[in-house]
Amino acid sequence: MIKVKDSVEVALELDEKKVYSHIAHESAEDIIRIISAIDAERAKLRGIEVYYKDDWDLLIRERIRKGKRHTVFDFYNPFLMDIWEEKVKEAKRSMRIIYYSIIALSGFALLMIILSFITGYPTFVIALGVLPLAIYIFDRQKSEVDMKYYELVQFFVYELKALLERFDLDKEKYKFNLYNSDYKGVLFDHRGRARVE
C-alpha cells in the first residue's frame, strides 16, 4: 500500500535552505545592487568621480508592476522596501532644500545688486551678509543627505550579511563596488572590491 503524505508532512521534511537557496541568491544580488547604487550616489555627493550607473529605482518598480516576487523585498524581508523608500525620500527632500535655498538666496543677492544700481545705495552688502547663511544651509543639508545614504548602505550591508549566513551562501561570491570605505562589517580585497565580513 502506498502511503500518501499531506502537505504539512511534506513541508516539514523540506530543507528550507535548499528550497529557497536560489531565491536567496537572487535576493543577495539585489542587495548588492542596492548597496553599490546608493554608495555611488553618496560618493557623487562627496565629489568623487563615479562611473557606476544602476537605475535601481526603475528596476524595482518594473518588477513590482509585472508581479515578479523574487526580489529581496518580497522574499527575504518585505519591510526593506518601505525602509529603503523612506530613507531615499528623506535624502531627496534634503537635496531639494539645498537646491531651493541656493535658488532663493541667489535671487535675493541678484535683487540686492540690482537694487544697488537703481538706488545708488550699497544694498549688495546685505546680500554678502546672507552668504554665511547660504554656506551653512548647504553644508548642513549635504551632511544630512550623506548620513541618510550612509545609514541606508550600512543597513543593507547588515541585511546582506544576515541573508548570506542564514542560507549558508559563500561570501566570496557576493562582492560589490564601494566608493566610500567607512562602513562597518565590510572587507576590501586588493582590487578594491568589497564583501561582508
pLDDT of residue 166: 85
pTM summary value: 0.75
**pLDDT exceeds 70 at position 16:** no
Per-residue pLDDT tens for 93-115? 888 888 898 889 889 989 998 99
Ramachandran bin of 4, using left for φ above 0, alpha for ψ from -120 to 50, beta for the remaining angles: beta
- Give the orientation angle of helix 124-166 with respect to helix 16-45, to 10 degrees: 160
**pLDDT exceeds 70 at position 182:** yes
- DSSP for the chain reads -PPPPPHHHHHHHS-HHHHHHHHHHHHHHHHHHHHHHHHHHHHHHTT--------HHHHHHHHHHHT---SHHHHT-THHHHHHHHHHHHHHHHHHHHHHHHHHHHHHHHHHHHHHHHH-S-THHHHHHHHHHHHHHHHHHHHHHHHHHHHHHHHHHHHHHHHHHHTT--GGG--EE-S----TTEEE-TTSEEEE-
List, as own/partner pairs, every contact residues 59-65 make where C-beta atoms lie below 8 angstroms and the sequence separation is at least 24, other chains included. 59/33
pLDDT of residue 114: 92
Please report how many Cα atoms fall inside a 13 Å half-sphere around the Cα of residue 116, on the Cβ side: 13
Per-residue pLDDT tens for 127-149? 888 888 888 888 988 898 899 89
